[in-house]
Amino acid sequence: MRVLIVGGGGREHTLAWKLAQSPLLEKLYCAPGNAGIASVAECIDIPADDLDSLKNWALEKKIDLTVVGPEVPLVLGIADIFRQSGLRVFGPDSKGAILEGSKVWSKRKMKQWGIPTAGFTIFDDFDDARNHLARFYGGPVVIKADGLAAGKGVVVAPGPEEAEQALYDIMIERAYGEAGSRVVIENCLSGEEVSVLAVTDGKKLVVLPSSQDHKAIGEGDRGPNTGGMGAYSPAPVYTGALARRTETEVFRPLLKGFADMGVDFRGVIYAGLMVSADQFNVLEFNVRFGDPETQAIIPRMQSDLLPLLAAAADGDLKNIEPRWKDDSAVCVVLASGGYPGSYEKGRVIEGLDKLEAEESDQVAVFHAGTAFKDGRTVTAGGRVLGVTAWDKDLQKAVDRVYRAADQIKFEGCYYRRDIAHRAL
Ligand code: AMP
Ligand code: GLY
């Protein structure tokens, strides 16, 4: 099979790394890719949101399967355009991708379809939204801009002052652009977060092992949220009983709701859950693989990923049941100093060659924001690399991942030392 991956981050490197091991693969391309993806796929210089160029290129190269990594092209309708041209694609149409593209849409549907989620109200007027804050009696509240905001756009405000500031930034200052024309104000939930991803053909589901992301920049989950500073899989908080409830109370009603609307969802549904002793709720849905969850989940996959993605894209998951290693995997993200604020790019990354040469069958380095410059690998983004290690024993996986991460050096390199702390 000739396969194209759309995207160029750590998630796409992980998918490329796994697909490159498939005996069914004839040739792997990635658009636009990055310096690490270039070692397993031919990188094509087309941005992930240039849908027409991607489609024309895929037609010309007779691509058998396109796997879409990020949300932006999905929300823009890459799957619609590819399918209209007779191209096979793994990812939902824009009618399905709105589940991630609009928080307002997603919250309304969760309510309509009976999927557990935090109580909420929707506003498109700043003064109405501000007046509503009084109902929280000075306690915490969550404000969400409606629309894609590159993983930002959600503020968990500890009190009314922070909430009002967030509302002002989102709705008046338009910190996240047009996404700020409407907001969701919702009850703040507490507990532990878990990410549950399921591959679906619109009818059947293959639920992948659970994982937990570490969104905050600082150790102990302090400081501003990022795209994700590390992840581990499985997440022990996701028990068998919770897995059964998630299937019947979250995934099934969602697929039924989509089917009733005539939406043929072929891709990944990512449910971000908040779990506490007596309840669980959906915080958000995404319509793609998580990043960095994928870097912790996919290395645990024993069977071939390609037939699973191809079958979902065909709308027929058949009886595919992937096999998983019974290891724990831990991914630590190495970021540029300053991230998630402003940071420098173009720093030379040292130690990669040695580590990649030594890479055992229990360590992998996934590139996120990297590029080649004058024959060297340099930083090119906020999140630069994801180092993943796995082992039967979680503590050993943690020790191994930090031994590997410590070998990589670049100016300003920062990573959290406490990934997987909740499971240890
Ligand atoms: P979202 O993009 O909706 O998942 O929000 C991003 C992050 O904000 C989540 O991963 C949580 O850490 C936090 N969050 C979102 N909604 C809530 C909520 N209702 N209560 C507490 N934290 C939340
Ligand atoms: N790790 C969070 C996300 O992929 O949205």
Question: Are 223 and 244 part of one and the same domain?
Answer: yes
Ligand 2: centre distance to CA 151 (Å):
7
Q: Is 281 exposed, middle or buried (0-12, 13-18, 19+ CB in 10 A)?
A: buried
| Count of domains for the chain | 4
Ligand 2 pocket check: which of 68, 99, 100, 195 to mutate, most ligand atoms within 8 Å of Cβ?
195
* Distances from the Cα of 284 to the Cα of 107, 198, 350, angstroms: 8, 14, 37
Rounded distance, CA 195 to CA 270, Å? 7
Ligand 2: centre distance to CA 72 (Å):
13
In-domain check, residue 382: yes
Ligand 1 pocket check: which of 71, 142, 144 to mutate, most ligand atoms within 8 Å of Cβ?
142
- Written as six digits, the tokens of 222 are 């302090």
Cα Rg, the chain, nearest whole Å? 21
Q: Is 165 exposed, middle or buried (0-12, 13-18, 19+ CB in 10 A)?
A: middle
Question: Are 73 and 127 part of one and the same domain?
Answer: no
In-domain check, residue 104: no
Ligand 1: centre distance to CA 184 (Å):
12
Assess contact for 313 and 304: CB atoms under 8 A.
Answer: no
Ligand 1: centre distance to CA 290 (Å):
15
Assess contact for 381 and 347: CB atoms under 8 A.
Answer: no
Q: Identify which ligand lies nearest to the alpha carbon of 185.
A: 1
In-domain check, residue 111: no
Phi, psi angles (nearest 5°) of residue 184: -105, 130
In-domain check, residue 418: no
Check which CATH number belongs to the domain holding 269 and give it: 3.30.470.20
Among candidate residues 259, 287, 314, the one where a domain is terminated: 314
List all residues 6 or more positions away from 280 whose beta carbon is below 8 Å from its beta carbon.
Answer: 116, 191, 242, 245, 246, 273, 274
Ligand 2: centre distance to CA 271 (Å):
10
Check which CATH number belongs to the domain holding 136 and give it: 3.30.1490.20
Give me the average pLDDT of each 10-residue run along the chain (424 residues). Answer: 98 98 98 96 98 98 98 97 98 97 96 97 94 85 88 86 93 89 95 97 97 95 91 96 96 97 96 93 97 98 98 94 97 97 96 81 94 95 97 96 96 97 88
Question: Are 308 and 341 part of one and the same domain?
Answer: no
* Distances from the Cα of 270 to the Cα of 73, 132, 143, angstroms: 17, 30, 21
Q: Identify which ligand lies nearest to the alpha carbon of 149.
A: 1
> Residue 75 corresponds to which amino acid?
V
In-domain check, residue 114: no
Question: Are 241 and 294 part of one and the same domain?
Answer: yes
Among candidate residues 187, 213, 231, the one where a domain is terminated: 187
Can you tell me which residue has the tokens 């404000």? 143
In-domain check, residue 46: yes
Question: Are 177 and 201 part of one and the same domain?
Answer: no
Assess contact for 87 and 66: CB atoms under 8 A.
Answer: yes
- Per DSSP (E only), the strands in 226-325 are 230-233, 267-275, 280-286
Question: Are 170 and 210 part of one and the same domain?
Answer: no
**Within 6 Å (CB) of ligand 1, which residues are found?**
118, 142, 144, 154, 156, 186-189, 193, 215, 272, 283-284
In-domain check, residue 417: no
Indicate if ligand 2 lies below 6 Å from the C-beta of 151. yes
pLDDT of residue 313: 98
What residue's CA is closest to ligand 2, atom 3? 290
pLDDT of residue 151: 66
Question: Are 339 and 302 part of one and the same domain?
Answer: no
What residue's CA is closest to ligand 1, atom 11? 283
pLDDT of residue 177: 87
Name the nearest CA neighbour of 353 among 401, 407, 300: 407
Check which CATH number belongs to the domain holding 390 and give it: 3.90.600.10
Question: Are 201 and 248 part of one and the same domain?
Answer: yes
Check which CATH number belongs to the domain holding 23 and give it: 3.40.50.20
- Written as six digits, the tokens of 55 are 């489609």
- Per DSSP (E only), the strands in 338-398 are 363-367, 370-373, 376-379, 383-391
Assess contact for 42 and 30: CB atoms under 8 A.
Answer: yes
- Written as six digits, the tokens of 238 are 């996701």
What residue's CA is closest to ligand 1, atom 3? 284
Question: Are 361 and 394 part of one and the same domain?
Answer: yes
Question: Are 286 and 198 part of one and the same domain?
Answer: yes
Among candidate residues 24, 58, 93, the one where a domain is terminated: 93
Ligand 1: centre distance to CA 165 (Å):
18
Question: Are 126 and 181 part of one and the same domain?
Answer: yes
Q: Identify which ligand lies nearest to the alpha carbon of 176.
A: 1
Indicate if ligand 2 lies below 6 Å from the C-beta of 290. yes
Rounded distance, CA 397 to CA 112, Å? 42
Alpha helices (runs of H) in 20-92, residue ranges in sequence order: 51-60, 71-76, 78-84
Question: Are 127 and 88 part of one and the same domain?
Answer: no
Rounded distance, CA 217 to CA 310, Å? 36
Q: What's the pTM value of the predicted model, to 2 decimals? A: 0.96
Domain carrying residue 154: 119-187
In-domain check, residue 321: no
